[in-house]
Chain A
Amino acid sequence: MPLRHRSLALSLAGLATASALLLAGCSADAGPSDTPATPVAGGTLTYATGFGEPTCLDPHVGGNMPQALVGTNVLESLFSQDETGAIVPWLAESGVAADDGLSWDVTLRDGIAFTDGTPMDAEAVKANVEHMKDPETASSTAILALGKVSSVDVVSPTVARFVLSEPDSALLESLAQTWLAMESPAGLERGMEANCEAPIGTGPFVFSEWVKQDHVTLTRNDDWTSAPAGATHEGPAYLDTIEWRFIPDPATRFAALQSGEVDAIDEMQPDNVVAATADGSGLDVLTGALPGASIRLELNSGYAPFDDELVRKAFIAAADVNPGIQSLFFGTVERSYSVLSSSTPFGASFEDDYAIDADKANQLLDEAGWMSRDSEGYRTKDGERLTVDFPVSTNQSIPAEVSLFEQIQATTKAVGFDVELHPMDLSSWYAALGSWDFDLTSAIYTKNSPDVLRILYDSENIIPAPSGYHPNNAHVSIPELDDAVTAAGQTTDPDERAALYEKAQELLADGAYVLPLYDHLQKIGYGDRVQGLSLLPTLQIPYFGDTWVSE
């Protein structure tokens, strides 16, 4: 399929261009003022997050976005990534796989210490990996990422050998995430309670106070020497303190930014982005696509009615997404035709598979036996209505997104689908997904590697974890796809990986399992006293090591 190869090439080219622009934007002058200023040391920056308050500041425990956000400026990882997704050194200098792929030697930078004075050496790496793999730690993200790591051997103080049970091409990408950040072994030994309150890392800031439901205070680490690649300066951060606040309501968060009560906020709503980027607002917005899966609808192919490929294709041909994206998001997001977000390497775009055609949809439904319609215009078969249950997590889906789902509901109704939206809190939503009690879902999955395709669509991941959680919500079970994502996870040859991941995405598009909507964007709004703010490409998390505030 030469056409598809072209779209892969195009999307890679687009990615390169986008990252070049991003790089230029980050490195030159990220502040809203046009005149580059000289950094000033001192001052406090107030950041308000809408991602919620962590229940534990140690991202090894659990492992979610709120932890990664606040943790990134305190805890550092062995590796980082550049804008193209390529692995670059951080606390480690290099990682080299053995020929059989069954071990990796990670060489560490010399002379780095945790803020409690403990050296950041191979022993520390071993202690951290053991901590993440210990069931007592209750890790979910890190333990999954280290699934193929059986142990860590200390070869020398600066060389840690990761011993694997099978080859893992995504190992260094995994180690670049904040959830697998390095913490002081002495800190870990204090026990879970103390470590949750204030984990000890090597970063530009130190956790110094946590007032529950109010704020976490980060103070500068004057001995910091381990700036990540792409940082604009070496040596201690400029800011004295960061006050990290929890403001769940998006309108309050934006009002606080507008009135100058806080300096930067995340989780901006589309209308706020428009207001903040307008001339004279005194505000600006930093945007980055979260790596991993795009925001998408997954069709549960394991159960009726979407176990029928014709019905899935009819749904996708009828679901007119673009007008909704344009009107509801005020041009702040772009339509995606890829299962992978634009910041994730190897994303392939299959625009033709998502063309809107109501006639085709009607024809497909006739063909699938949903011939008659009831008094309300919904299609029926054997007296049963063509109902699609769609549980919506009110915690994860912003209002504009819920409105988009309502528009999809309206456009698919025209051909006879009865899409029933069920708003739910997060626990009920997970429970509905866990028991396969849904036909359609929109779930977020962030991972800085195309290996996310294996997690989301390998048939193995239909089988639920003991908690009931299963990542493969679309119930995709295609042996060819399983083989492709497994092989891609084991080879380190980029061309081979690209071909295998494209194959997997092609199978998903052809089988109409997923309807991509748009990139999951990190949108950071900030006031004009904030200078030198950037996003760390690994997880698009705001990075304050180079940030200063001007008066």
Chain B
Amino acid sequence: MRGSALGGRRPSGGPLDGRVPGGPGRPRSGLLRSRVLRVAAALGGAVFVLWAAATLTFFGLRLIPGDPAQAVLGGPGSQASAEALAAVRSEYGFDQPIWMQYLRYLGRLVTGDLGSSYSQRQSVASIIGSQIGGTLLLAVLALTVAWLLALGLAVWSTRGGRLAAAVGSGLEIVAAAVPHFWLATVLVLVFSTTLRWFPAVSTDGPAGLVLPVLTLALPLAGFLGQVMRESVLDALEAPFVLSARARGESEAGVRWRHVLRHGALPGIALSGWAFGWLISGAVVVETIFARPGLGRTLLNAVQLRDVPLVIGVVLVVAVGYVVMTLLTDVVSRIADPRLAASRPSRSSRPSSSRPASAEGVRA
């Protein structure tokens, strides 16, 4: 699909004409309009995702048995008096029809008020504020480590012959299939109980981050590695690599400048999804390694039917997901100028950084 769109817009010229298409001859106002439309569509999509997350969570939590008034009065099984329950029901509006509660909740959300937690008696915003740092640090480190592992494995296993390829592919499949809780337990047993290299409880400094980050990063590296290696293998067989080699580029040059960029593209596209996946992994990892964070907050809040806190965390994660998706879009465009075809500012860039993949399409 991309190929045909590009082909339609591409001015005629040889494969090495040195110009990325889309610049000259296109009216700027049209570009501006399409850009505004794209931003509006992205924003609209983001708002829709947030609304859907808030709505699904709100009604989902009501479907599970359990009384929110109990959550306010000290959790499930509370033996609260009738007066206390009645007071809580009217104070929090639990005695109103569910659609009224929903509208009131949406109304508060629109004004940026996440409400206050039933169980912790604090504003949801301040709870999230105090817990988000740890989780973001964990997710960013895990994503980085996963990328490094996946790239390293992809490059190594595609140049080391058939055995290396089989080993690489095997490692990736195993890593991708390993459940977080199992991996965490094994890592604790090996690196904490037996070798005593890293603490099992992740609270003290950088050493405490190693095992949680590895727990999250290894399966993700498996996923990323699988798609990247496929893509690298495709690129290695593509004619543009042949032509690069024919031009006399070194093997390292071919790999780093052409093949790797090609291999990384699907990985970048997956990173938005990976972020959401890392946050859900954080629920397990933060619980096992006793790390403060959003994942553990979410788990406790669900168990206590703390509706405002659950919705608050879900919304923050949804925002993170939307932001990450937009970011991967931007990064993809930088890595693959075919996608940036509509960007005038980049249209006159010289060809030195022109990616191999674009050549591949044309060839």
Q: Which residues of A contact B (CB under 8 A)?
A: 48, 53, 55-56, 61-64, 135-136, 138, 140-141, 143-144, 192-193, 196, 211-215, 245-249, 251-252, 255-256, 258-259, 261-262, 395, 425-432, 435, 465-469
**Beta-carbon contact of B76 and A466 below 8 Å:** no
Contact with A along B295-316 (1 / 0, CB 8 A): 0110010111100000000000
Residues in B whose Cβ lies below 8 Å from that of A212 = 120, 127, 130-131, 292
Q: Does B201 contact A (CB under 8 A)?
A: yes
Q: Which residue of the partner chain, among A48, A135, A427, contacts B65 with CB atoms under 8 Å?
A: A427
Knowing A252-B288, A259-B199 touch, does A138 contact B79 (C-beta < 8 A)?
no
Q: 8 tightest A-B contacts by CB?
A: A62-B74, A431-B65, A427-B66, A213-B292, A430-B76, A255-B200, A466-B82, A247-B290
Q: Does B42 contact A (CB under 8 A)?
A: no
**Beta-carbon contact of B203 and A214 below 8 Å:** yes
Q: Does B2 contact A (CB under 8 A)?
A: no
Q: Does B231 contact A (CB under 8 A)?
A: no
Task: With CB as the reference atom, state the residue of chain B lying closest to A141.
Answer: B79
Residues in A whose Cβ lies below 8 Å from that of B17 = none
Interface size on B, residues (CB 8 A): 52
A249 to B296, CA, bound (A): 12
**Beta-carbon contact of A214 and B121 below 8 Å:** no
Task: With CB as the reference atom, state the residue of chain B lying closest to A143.
Answer: B81
Residues in A whose Cβ lies below 8 Å from that of B288 = 249, 251-252
Distance to closest chain A CB from B285 (angstroms): 10
Knowing A425-B303, A467-B67 touch, does A64 contact B80 (C-beta < 8 A)?
no
A143 to B79, CA, bound (A): 9
**Beta-carbon contact of A466 and B199 below 8 Å:** no
**Beta-carbon contact of B303 and A395 below 8 Å:** yes
Within 8 A of A (CB), among B291-349: 292-293, 296-297, 300, 302-305
Contact with A along B103-135 (1 / 0, CB 8 A): 000000000000000011100000100110000
Query: Which of B171-179, B187-195, B219-227 makes up part of the contact surface?
Result: B187-195
Given contacts A135-B84, A140-B78, A469-B78, list 19 more A-B pairs with CB under 8 A.
Answer: A140-B80, A141-B79, A143-B79, A212-B120, A212-B130, A213-B296, A245-B201, A252-B188, A252-B201, A256-B201, A259-B192, A259-B193, A426-B76, A426-B303, A427-B70, A430-B66, A435-B65, A466-B85, A467-B73
Task: With CB as the reference atom, state the residue of chain B lying closest to A137.
Answer: B84
Knowing A466-B80, A469-B78 touch, does A140 contact B66 (C-beta < 8 A)?
no
**Beta-carbon contact of A246 and B119 below 8 Å:** no
Q: Does B75 contact A (CB under 8 A)?
A: yes
What's the count of A-B pairs with C-beta under 8 Å?
151
17 contacts between A and B (CB under 8 A): A62-B73, A62-B78, A140-B78, A143-B79, A193-B121, A245-B201, A247-B201, A248-B290, A255-B192, A255-B193, A426-B75, A427-B70, A430-B66, A465-B80, A467-B78, A468-B70, A469-B77
Residues in B whose Cβ lies below 8 Å from that of A467 = 67, 69-70, 73, 77-80, 85
**Beta-carbon contact of B76 and A255 below 8 Å:** no
Residues in B whose Cβ lies below 8 Å from that of A211 = 292
Distance to closest chain A CB from B25 (angstroms): 59
A262 to B119, CA, bound (A): 28
Residues in A whose Cβ lies below 8 Å from that of B304 = 55, 427
Which of A140, A213, A251 has the most CB atoms of chain B within a 10 A radius of its CB?
A213
